[in-house]
Amino acid sequence: MYNNNPTLDKVDDKKILHDRQGEVLTLEKLELNPDAKRFYIESYGCQMNFSDSEIVAAILAENNYFPTKNMEESDLILINTCSIREKAEDTVRKRLFIYNKVKKQRPGTLIGVLGCMAERLKQKFLEEEKLVDLVVGPDAYRDLPNLINSAEEGNRSINVLLSREETYADIAPLRLDNNGVTAFISIMRGCDNMCSFCVVPFTRGRERSRNAFSIVSEATDLLNRGYREVTLLGQNVDSYKWENPETKEVVNFANLLEMVARVHPDLRIRFSTSHPKDITDEVLYTIAKYENICNYIHLPVQSGNSRILKLMNRTYDRPWYMERVEAIRRIIPDCAISSDIITGFCSETEEDHQDTLSIVKFADYSMSFMFYYSERPGTLAARKYEDDIPLEVKKRRLTEVIELQNQLSLESNQRDVGQTFKVLIEGSSKKSDADFKGRNSQNKMLIFPKKDGLKAGDYTMVTVNRANSATLFGEITTS
């Protein structure tokens, strides 16, 4: 620890995350068990799903299941699903047909659907799809061993009960497909915002925050195991709020950021996702205070038009969002901002669309996730509004947003040419083993030639000499 933190002094053994068996399960330890069955898991959608898959892996590992990357040798095939768009659900259905081909070649293999799509379709998955043996919602992963046992006896099993308390705070995630440098930490679950286009409140339940001490403990454990960057995850991290049951002290997101930042100066902190209605100046000043809290904020706008934002039930308008962007620029001058954007929402006019293009220019996003509107069953928008924008118009507007964002991303990256950044090395470049890849504080990817003595997990200084819209290229200047 550094910069003695009074809040952390209150941690006791009962609040430490990894005290189940006195040590953390790792893949290496699992490999010592010759009797373990094998499970294969695929994750789709948001970062939270990938984080949840690591919780699932930990639960299975303690029940004699060993992770494998070879689907054909697995005894259990799981897919962690997303329902945010129709295309995501179509992808899942296609994958289920592939899994069932494996099952025919390996009788006895179980197939399970996890996550948001499981929660949305519930019993229909077993009755109509008839492609799965297990259906497990995001709050029911602890029940997996029981559901698996039931499925092994020939019963199709389901648990999609949502919880007001479940945070999995006491479960040490089993890191899957990781580089040993960066990791996710889930700090809260669920969402209370009820955006009219979104299924998340219905598939992940009400918002609840995790014990702050367990989050700090998980970050400390990751640091001790060689990780150098953690991303704090929540549907709306800015509404994080946890009350210490013993002291009644309330920890908000700014407090939590500071607690995790103080674990060690070499541990970088990122977070996602922020909501424009909730991000406070206190959070921004905390980011500015600590060098190891990255200067990058994902701040979804969805639309630049106040009328559309009201229909989306985003609970802020265009001026509010612009003021939050201005506050970020004022308090953290070198902060990069990214966004989510939806085109073609119900009743969107060309003038509304132009407002979105103009706010993209105003915010000068370093990058964005951009989609055309996909009506989701059960949402307020599906019940209340007509999906009245023709598909070709949605796609054309999306293309215009993408083209503008690509231009802004290129200009942003070109401004970095000649500048020197502190970069965390994540590993070898995908295109060349002679090059490293890593990110700077602004979450921009840099590619640069390797240098003897450096390895993944090290920090180095890189000077940028060229750029395209997605990547910076440079040379190590000091190490």
Quote the Cα angle for 384-388-392, to 5°.
145
Same domain, 309 and 385: yes
State which residues form the domain around 237: 182-415
**pLDDT at site 226:** 94
Q: Based on the domain organization, do 428 and 408 belong to the same domain?
A: no
Same domain membership, residue 342 and residue 302: yes
For residues 471 and 355, membership in a common domain is answered with: no
pLDDT score at 12: 36
Q: Return the biggest CA–CA distance within the chain.
A: 64
Domain-located, residue 5:
no
Angle at 204 between CA 220 and CA 147, to 5 degrees: 85
Which tokens sit at 80?
A: 């962690």
Residue 171 included in any domain: no
Give yes or no: residues 287 and 229 share one domain: yes
**CATH code for position 469:** 2.40.50.140
Total structural domains within the chain: 3
CATH number where 117 lies: 3.40.50.12160
Tell me, what's the pLDDT at 238? 97
Digits of tens for pLDDT over the chain (479 positions)? Answer: 333 333 333 333 333 333 333 345 555 555 556 677 999 999 988 888 889 999 999 999 988 898 999 999 999 999 998 887 788 888 888 999 999 999 999 989 999 999 988 888 888 878 766 789 999 999 999 999 999 999 999 888 999 988 889 999 889 899 887 789 999 999 999 999 999 999 888 888 899 999 999 999 999 999 999 999 999 999 999 999 999 999 999 999 999 999 999 999 999 999 999 999 999 999 999 999 999 999 999 999 999 999 999 999 999 999 999 999 999 999 999 999 999 999 999 999 999 999 999 999 999 999 999 999 999 988 999 999 999 999 999 999 999 999 999 999 999 999 999 999 999 999 999 999 999 999 999 999 999 999 999 999 999 999 999 999 999 999 999 75
> Would residue 96 count as lying in a domain?
yes
- Compute the chain's Rg from CA coordinates: 23
Residue 458, CB half-sphere, CA atoms under 13 Å: how many? Answer: 15
96 half-sphere exposure, CB direction, 13 A CA radius: 23
Q: Which of 366, 381, 415 delimits the end of a domain?
A: 415
pLDDT at res. 282: 98
Residues 246 and 384 in one domain: yes
Domain end call among 384, 415, 446: 415
Residues 390 and 444 in one domain: no
Q: Does residue 281 share a domain with residue 338?
A: yes
Last residue of a domain, one of 125, 159, 193: 159
pLDDT, position 15 = 34
- Whether residue 17 lies inside any domain: the answer is no
Inside any domain, residue 18: no
Do both 99 and 55 map to the same domain?
yes
* Neighbouring-strand partners of residue 78: 41, 112
Q: What's the pLDDT at 179? A: 85
- Per residue in 239-270, is it b (16+ CB within 10 Å) or e — as a string? bbbbeeeeeeeebbbbbbbbbbbbbbeebbbb
Nearest C-alpha neighbor of 221 from the set 213, 63, 78, 404: 213
In a domain, 57, yes or no: yes
Is 20 domain-assigned?
no
Whichever domain contains 263, its CATH number is: 3.80.30.20
293 with 235, same domain: the answer is yes
Look at residue 266 and tell me if it is in a domain.
yes
Task: Give the burial string for 439-458 (b: 16+ CB within 10 Å, else e).
Answer: bbbbbbbbbbebeeeeebbb
Whether residues 310 and 205 fall in one domain: yes
Same domain, 113 and 61: yes
